[in-house]
Amino acid sequence: MHQPTADLRIRATRPLPAPATVEAEIPLDGAGSARIARARREIASVMAGRDDRLLVVAGPCSIHDPAAAVEYAALLGAAADRHAGELVVAMRVYFEKPRTVVGWKGLINDPDLDETFQIGKGLRVARRLMADITATGLAIATEFLDTTLGQYYADLVSWGAIGARTVESQVHRELASGLSMPVGFKNRTDGDVQVAVDAIRSARHSHWFPSLARDGSPACMQTTGNEDTHLVLRGGTNGTNYSVRDVRSAADLLSKSGLPPLLMVDCSHANSGRDAERQPAVAEELAARIASGERAIAAVMLESNLVGGSQDYRAVPLTRGQSVTDACLSWERTHPVIARLAEAVAARRGT
């Protein structure tokens, strides 16, 4: 008798549409593709030091309410237009949430927040939201957690991130080497920066790796390598890492590896002690240093939403515009931070 050995712990399977099918349903038009191409060029130029503006990535920890996200995008887009001479602004549009143990894993995994895990629906909702935000003229930033899901929406992304939990992952380095947009690598959760520098170096090389083709078939892909890769300091279990000394040390590591000594500082996560309300204080310190001539800080990230704080995703009713994952800064407190960063860039030009 043949003893079964495959799929012994698989309870159910559901088919997924091919990436090309979802793209055909929710296409990117010519105007949108031109906006994305321009935003990618501008971000790459900032992170390479060719453009003296500051990249600001701001938005919710994770998206759970597309309508509220569009409302936030309108506010952020107005700020981006107001400060276009000093800042390049992209919105955090994060659909995947890495969990330390268990919990809600994001809009794609569970779009209805009811543990029905309608992933096919989630992919369509995610792409539709990205298309709607792109139509407003605002650039999109997201984290690539699952190495295949990006095929459904990467054409709409202007800045990508590899997170602190996956920065050591070979498959994520390979993925980044083939992504079409600039990619930031966060330092490891314990604060180790060298591993992120190693990841940047790896992603700049060509790789072969198995993945999912646009038609849904499995395929092996060869990448060209991604020269538009950079470091993101987000602190760690050993403390913050945005001080003058920390930034200089990180810039020196980059220089010794033959990389541009320019980086992003995440004002949230461990750099704020996981207290969203401390982000303006972190940003103010960075702004003061930028105003006095600091060049290594080329980008800043903020976790922000319409309403400050966070709530349980199972709450009934949910507070509109408030995070269901990590706590965020309210928009009311965010837009003065953005304006202050723009002021700092203008002052730096005067130095």
CB 216, CB 18: distance < 8 Å? yes
User: What pLDDT, on the 0 to 100 scale, is given for residue 134?
Assistant: 98
pLDDT of residue 271: 98
Domain presence at residue 243 = yes
- Per-residue pLDDT band for 241 (boundaries 50, 70, 90) equals very high
Q: What is the largest CA-CA distance in the chain?
A: 81
Please choose, from the candidates 278, 178, 286, 160, the residue with its C-alpha nearest in 3D space to the C-alpha of residue 230: 160
Any domain includes 10: no
**Residue 39 included in any domain:** yes
Lowest average pLDDT, out of 88-92, 212-216, 220-224, 276-280, goes to 212-216
Instruction: Report the distance separating Cα 299 and Cα 313, nearest Å.
Output: 31
State the average pLDDT for the chain.
Answer: 97
Residue 87 lies in a domain: yes
- What is the pLDDT at residue 281? 98
Q: How far is the C-alpha of 300 from the C-alpha of 128, rounded, in Å?
A: 27
Task: Please report the pLDDT score of residue 1 as a whole number.
Answer: 78
Q: What is the pLDDT of residue 238?
A: 94
pLDDT of residue 250: 98
Domains held by the chain: number: 1
Q: Judge whether 12 lies within some domain.
A: no
Separation of alpha carbons 1 and 11, rounded Å: 23
- Residue 170 located in a structural domain: yes
Per-residue model confidence as pLDDT tens digits over 187-197: 999 999 999 99
Q: Is pLDDT at 260 greater than 90 in this prediction? A: yes
Q: Which domain holds residue 255?
A: 19-350
> pLDDT value at position 103?
85
Q: What is the pLDDT confidence band of residue 327, given thresholds at 50, 70 and 90?
A: very high
pLDDT at 101 over 80: no
In a domain, residue 2? The reply is no
Output the pLDDT for position 67. 98
pTM of the entire structure?
0.96
Residue 31 has pLDDT above 80, yes or no: yes
How high is the pLDDT of residue 99?
A: 77
HSE of 312 in the Cβ direction (CA atoms, 13 Å)? 3
Under the banding of pLDDT at 50, 70 and 90, the label for residue 206 is very high
- CATH number of domain containing 213: 3.20.20.70
The amino acid present at 260, given as its one-letter code, is P
Residue 198 lies in a domain: yes
- Rounded CA-CA distance 251/162 in Å is 19
Model confidence pLDDT, tens digit, residues 219-232 = 999 999 999 999 99
Q: Is the pLDDT of residue 36 over 90?
A: yes
